[in-house]
Amino acid sequence: MDGIDVLLKERRLYRPPSQFQKKAHLSGFEVLEELRRKARRDPEAFWVSAAKELFWIKPWRKVLDWKPPFAQWFVGGKINLSANCLDRHLSGARRNKAAIIWEGEPGEIRTLTYQQLYSEVCRFANVLKGLGVRAGDRVAIYMPMVPEAAIAMLGCARIGAVHSVVFAGFSAEALRDRINDAQAKLVITADGSYRWGQVLRLKDAVDEALRSCPSVEKAVVLRRTGAASPEASDLAWSEGRDHWWHELMARASDRCEAEALDSEHPLFILYTSGSTGKPKGVLHTTGGYLTQVTLTAKWIFDLRDDDVYWCTADVGWVTGHSYVVYGPLANGATTFMYEGAPLHPSADRFWSMIARHRVNVFYTAPTAIRSFMRLGEQWPAKHDLSSLRLLGTVGEPINPQAWLWYHRAIGGGRCPIVDTWWQTETGAIMITPLPGATPAKPGSATLPFPGIDADVVDKNGRPVPPGKGGYLVIRRPWPSMLRSIYGDPKRYEDQYFSQITSPDGSRRRDIYFTGDGARKDKDGYFWVLGRIDDVLNVSGHRLSTMEVESALVSHPAVAEAAVVGRPDEIQGQAITAFVTLAGGRSPSDGLKDELRQHVAKAIGSLARPSEIRFSETLPKTRSGKIMRRLLREIASGETVRGDVTTLEDFSVLARLQSQGEEE
């Protein structure tokens, strides 16, 4: 690939507000630049100073062992992640501080102090031991967003069991595949969960999955909805296999020493979202992961002891692992968790919770922001959001229009926004503003975190000039990087270390390719342009999906847009845009013409979509990302063949396909 043509114009700069800057952990661009320079000269020393902030049972012998493409960090060190998240906060003022504040969808509120969370985790670790789980065994967690999900994760980490959290919205088949891939011995679940005012029957899905999961010996079931008990019961119960959480916990001791685990001991397996293909079982280990997650959480979310911090991600995603549970708790912060649907019982549920709990830091996804934008500013306006001081986004490129709305309608114009780029594979945030230091540009994740050597390069690993698009890569190993794809080191190598080649055609096994396209601007800021697989090719020009979509979203009638290329005899590819309209706007041929014109005017006639299709919804992964590969097949009139197990709503495909036929 020679590069991606760049069409989007640069926008204005938002400097950190001085009020914010005064108190920030990391304050001033010069300070940050100096840190970056130092980390560039000696990245290992930079990460060592971060690792030293943690509690190690035994120090490491070697900081980094890099045999491309396999890295090990803090080799020989012994550490326990749960002890870092819990035990070390018990000796001082944090002991009685809220570790988790939780709100259930029906409205109940629970608070667990660090002392209470510690006791629960110790108890659960003993439960695991009692069920025969040992260090290295895999445990599947299929739980609602309740504190017990975090307790289960921390309990596993305490004894060295490897957790594999599966999002509770996934089907029995998706659960079965993930259990079998990891060969899990135990499943932790709940009878149900509340979502959209309904009970989601999780245990039923587990029962169905376990019909073909021979590795599973036991299941632990939390009573959450109580809709059914074995006595009552329409809940199936397999004697000998199934155990109630509360019954096991009642018998377990609340003392459990944290296991001294190797720094490279596997911590978890987590499957990617499946936006671009079949999900990959990403494997993370302990010491390096915790080091980077802890430091990034502290600096990027500027965590303070009196903050209430809320990341809306489900624990089923990596964001839920690193920035709902581990990062905040390792920093002794208060993390807020919410169980249910974002718009239940009304469209202001999120804003009412921010006001009720006086949330200070709020971290969510562009897909959520776009849907709030579509619903209108009257919903946040009903609530006092003045406690907010910092906002964040993750998951997809954020369209500048959505950034501006977030900044104004939610942040009241006073909160910095951290647009954080990272992946399941990277384990922690990699490219991001630091809120007290980095001037933000809407739509850009700005600059690499200190110690991270990110770049935009061509096929041979040569940096492309500013303004030109290319492959987003990481040139050096980082502490929280994935160690492999579980059970498939070859796929690990093929997936991430084969696209960038030396001039003689041999693979560069030392350069990690992210799968994303990006460009750097003249200030060195990174702009993620979307997936390399999704890049459009129109009349020999390679265009990014993000730029065309952002141009569409900047039109007031458009709530959301996804563009794909379909084969075209003349142009190579022609652009088809799938568009969801803003509230109150209805589809018409006139509007189609207007949108085509709008794109041409905003970024150039090259990018003018040849076809616009209005759609009520777009196909998304369960984590809210647009699945363009499915749209590509629909636009070309093919039947959808790829892996759809992570699709959020299957009916969307049928609707999109039949719509195409009508037109």
Contacts with ligand ATP, residue ranges (CB under 6 A): 272-277, 279, 394-397, 419-424, 445, 514-516, 528, 531, 623, 625
**Residue placing its CB nearer to ligand ATP in the complex, 345 or 642:** 642
**Residue placing its CB nearer to ligand ATP in the complex, 274 or 400:** 274
Minimum CB–partner distance for residue 102 and ligand ATP (Å): 24
The string of DSSP codes covering 572-594 is EEEEEEEEEEPTT----HHHHHH
Choose the one of Mg ion, ligand ATP, none that binds residue 619, judging by a C-beta under 5 to 8 angstroms depending on kind: none
Minimum CB–partner distance for residue 643 and ligand ATP (Å): 9
**Residue placing its CB nearer to Mg ion in the complex, 287 or 530:** 530
The string of DSSP codes covering 205-216 is HHHHHHTT-TT-
Choose the one of Mg ion, ligand ATP, none that binds residue 164, judging by a C-beta under 5 to 8 angstroms depending on kind: none
Distance of alpha carbon 271 from alpha carbon 457, whole angstroms: 27
Minimum CB–partner distance for residue 425 and Mg ion (Å): 7
**Residue placing its CB nearer to ligand ATP in the complex, 206 or 447:** 447
Choose the one of ligand ATP, Mg ion, none that binds residue 279, judging by a C-beta under 5 to 8 angstroms depending on kind: ligand ATP
What are the phi and psi torsion angles at 417 (to 5°)? -115, 130
**Residue placing its CB nearer to ligand ATP in the complex, 249 or 318:** 318
Minimum CB–partner distance for residue 440 and ligand ATP (Å): 12
Minimum CB–partner distance for residue 297 and ligand ATP (Å): 16
Minimum CB–partner distance for residue 489 and Mg ion (Å): 18
Minimum CB–partner distance for residue 279 and ligand ATP (Å): 5
Strand partners, 421: 431
Choose the one of ligand ATP, Mg ion, none that binds residue 71, judging by a C-beta under 5 to 8 angstroms depending on kind: none
Choose the one of Mg ion, ligand ATP, none that binds residue 242, judging by a C-beta under 5 to 8 angstroms depending on kind: none
Minimum CB–partner distance for residue 409 and ligand ATP (Å): 20
Choose the one of ligand ATP, Mg ion, none that binds residue 535, judging by a C-beta under 5 to 8 angstroms depending on kind: none
The string of DSSP codes covering 239-306 is TTTEEEHHHHHHHS-S--PPP-EETTSEEEEEE---SSSS--EEEEESHHHHHHHHHHHHHHTT--TT
Minimum CB–partner distance for residue 515 and Mg ion (Å): 5
Question: What order do you get walking across the sheet with 526-531 strand by strand?
Answer: 454-457, 469-474, 512-520, 526-531
Choose the one of Mg ion, ligand ATP, none that binds residue 483, judging by a C-beta under 5 to 8 angstroms depending on kind: none
Q: Which positions lie near Mg ion, rule CB under 5 A?
A: 272
**Residue placing its CB nearer to Mg ion in the complex, 289 or 350:** 289
Map 633-653 to HEC letters. HHHCCCCCCCCCCCECCCHHH
Choose the one of Mg ion, ligand ATP, none that binds residue 400, judging by a C-beta under 5 to 8 angstroms depending on kind: none
Whether the ω angle into residue 503 lies within 30 degrees of 0, i.e. cis, is: no
**Residue placing its CB nearer to ligand ATP in the complex, 264 or 314:** 314
**Residue placing its CB nearer to Mg ion in the complex, 313 or 354:** 313
Minimum CB–partner distance for residue 411 and ligand ATP (Å): 17
Choose the one of Mg ion, ligand ATP, none that binds residue 445, judging by a C-beta under 5 to 8 angstroms depending on kind: ligand ATP
Distance of alpha carbon 611 from alpha carbon 564, whole angstroms: 10
Distance of alpha carbon 552 from alpha carbon 561, whole angstroms: 7
- Geometric angle at alpha carbon 499, from 272 and 7, rounded to 5°: 85
**Residue placing its CB nearer to ligand ATP in the complex, 485 or 634:** 485
What are the phi and psi torsion angles at 372 (to 5°)? -65, -35
H helix intervals, 304-387: 318-320, 327-330, 349-357, 366-375, 378-381
What is the number of other CB atoms lying within 10 angstroms of the CB of residue 469?
A: 26
Minimum CB–partner distance for residue 272 and Mg ion (Å): 5
Minimum CB–partner distance for residue 630 and ligand ATP (Å): 12
Q: Which single residue is written with the structure tokens 């996934």?
A: 170
Distance of alpha carbon 2 from alpha carbon 464, whole angstroms: 9
Distance of alpha carbon 602 from alpha carbon 604, whole angstroms: 6
**Residue placing its CB nearer to ligand ATP in the complex, 282 or 579:** 282
H helix intervals, 441-525: 489-496
The answer to whether 526 touches 445, Cβ cutoff 8 Å, is: yes
**Residue placing its CB nearer to ligand ATP in the complex, 267 or 355:** 267
**Residue placing its CB nearer to ligand ATP in the complex, 69 or 395:** 395
Minimum CB–partner distance for residue 174 and ligand ATP (Å): 13
Which of 85, 100, 94, 151 shows the shortest CA–CA distance to 335?
100
* E-strand stretches of 504-663: 512-520, 526-531, 536-538, 541-543, 558-568, 572-581, 611-614
Choose the one of Mg ion, ligand ATP, none that binds residue 312, judging by a C-beta under 5 to 8 angstroms depending on kind: none
Distance of alpha carbon 338 from alpha carbon 333, whole angstroms: 16
**Residue placing its CB nearer to Mg ion in the complex, 116 or 272:** 272
Distance of alpha carbon 303 from alpha carbon 198, whole angstroms: 35
Distance of alpha carbon 327 from alpha carbon 289, whole angstroms: 10
Pairing mode, strands 162-165 and 186-190: unpaired
The answer to whether 238 touches 205, Cβ cutoff 8 Å, is: no
